[in-house]
Structure 1
Amino acid sequence: MIYKDRSGSQPLSGGPTALFTSVGRRVQLVRHFAEAGWRVIGADLNPADCAAQVICSKVHAVPPCSAGQRYYDRLLEICRLEQIDYLIPLYEPELIGLAGRQRDFQDSGTTVIVSQASSLELCLNKFRLFQFLRSHEFDTPDTYLEPDKIDHTERKGSRWVVKPVTGMGSKNIHIVSPDELCAAYGQVKSPLIQRFVHGQEYSIDAYVDQAGNVRSVVPRKRLVVRSGEVSKSITVEDEAVTRETVRLLAALQLYGPVTVQGIKESDTGRFYFIEVNPRFGGGVPLSMRAGIPYAEWIADRNCDWNGTLQPYQTGLKMLRYDEALFVED
């Protein structure tokens, strides 16, 4: 099913064609590619309710990712039908499945912008990521799988974050006192417990090309967050955070767009890595506006690079607001 066909609404520029999954509300993201001369196709569970239809040439209906092979077969069908050059996944649960099926898409002429499965398995399991960070000497908060593993003195001396081992969008996260810890732990499926760090939250947008070169690192302060997605943010320059992020990305052997989450502790100034999301994050339009040419880099199969990080505009603030789109059924 194709909900809308706007093939005539985008200029025929000869640029690449991209398929974005879970395209829903990602209007600013797909606009970046459309304005760079790309033909943009969307895939979504409910195309009729998809705001990005105003930018996409077409939006195709797909079954839920939980449908397994049927979901991936549908994406492959769309790639063949639309002659997709690049499949850009935006939904974390599909990443490992797409990584294991890259050859199928390559045989149809489509490059999947996704990291290797071993790297994804580290990033998408928050406890495995904690273990990786500690073993590679990155600062990250103390993290446990069970309350009984926490030393009594340490437990009483801190607030705690209880959240699922896997998941996205800041869902089912509880920040609790020591006395509330066990109750919150029982409310979360497959939980982990992490020491709460009081300080300034950061998101760090980065891009790693096919040759493993870290092309950009853009730290930005998360000023206001709604439902897990940043609504106010500002780009900053931080040499220490940038240097450690480059080291982290190299250690994880990632590819494509990455959004790293961290906190700079108020009392100590130490920066703690919290999560690594191996996909475009919700706040990436700010980094795009600050000067990061994601569309150009993804289309650069030769990985032509001068060896330095891409400069970007610091002090650029993004202020999001609600806007209505009106479409006909």
Structure 2
Amino acid sequence: MTTHFSRGPSFGMSAEVKIKLAQKYDPRKEEELRLWIQEVTGRRVGDPFMEGLKDGVILCELINKLQPGSVKKISNSPQNWHQLENIGNFVRAITEYGLKPHDIFEANDLFENMNHTQVQSTLITLAGMAKSKGYHCKYDIGVKYAEKQQRQFNPSQLKEGRNIIGLQMGTNKFASQKGMTSYGTRRHLYDPKAGMDNPLDQSTISLQMGTNKGANQAGMTAPGTKRQIFDKKLDMESCDTATVSLQMGTNKVASQTGMTVYGLPRQVYDSKYCVNPHEQAGGEDAGEDHGYGSQQNYHNYSD
């Protein structure tokens, strides 16, 4: 008895995908495929249907009947790797026969019961390809492929097509330049339902571009000068440009009294420690007294 590879049960999303694929399997198509394969190969396919194909022997004989010499060697061994080899040879043979890669099942889809729906779809496509290649039998299954229709056009016919605008590129049947202005100028839109006045000349600003009906230059000053804002509700007094506002500081207390020439030191006088600089020396006595006083003050400082 042949022992095949087994895969554990699926869970979660894998289980949901497997269930949806199994629901697409068509038992009626299975019976049609059974009859078609038995007629082509002359061999009976056992039950269940997929179990009878799992060793790959009948599949290899099927493609050899459709295209002789496709599979050189068919193994009848019950070993798993020999059966997988048969399935792989069948897949390569039907690819060379003309089936597209997206129409072909994988070996595990059949051998490990992964996706019987894809196996059924591949066999139906193979029957349609055989019908297209001229292989007919009494069991009509599969869809015949469309035949390629080659057409030849001479160079003059190809050049004529350049003068025709195809419908994929739009149409110019209803195009018109009525009402177009010169390049670069605006086009006015007039809607009589909206009560809009028809613009008379190019100097009129349309409503789509805004309006200058309420604009004026009253109170505007020269460029670069500040514009005073006066609010009567806040009892603000208008001021002139010569007044420094409180936001910019104040010059009410500032004074240049006592300032010397730029670069000269400024003397600081303190009556507690210095002789009054405004007293004039009256003579020698005064000079001596002044000197004595200064010396006395010096001694006091020393003490």
**Shorter-chain TM-score tier:** under 0.3
Higher relative contact order (CA 8 A, sep 6+): 1
Q: Give the TM-score normalised by the residue count of structure 2.
A: 0.21
- Compute the TM-score of the two structures, normalised by the length of structure 1: 0.20
Higher-Rg structure is 2
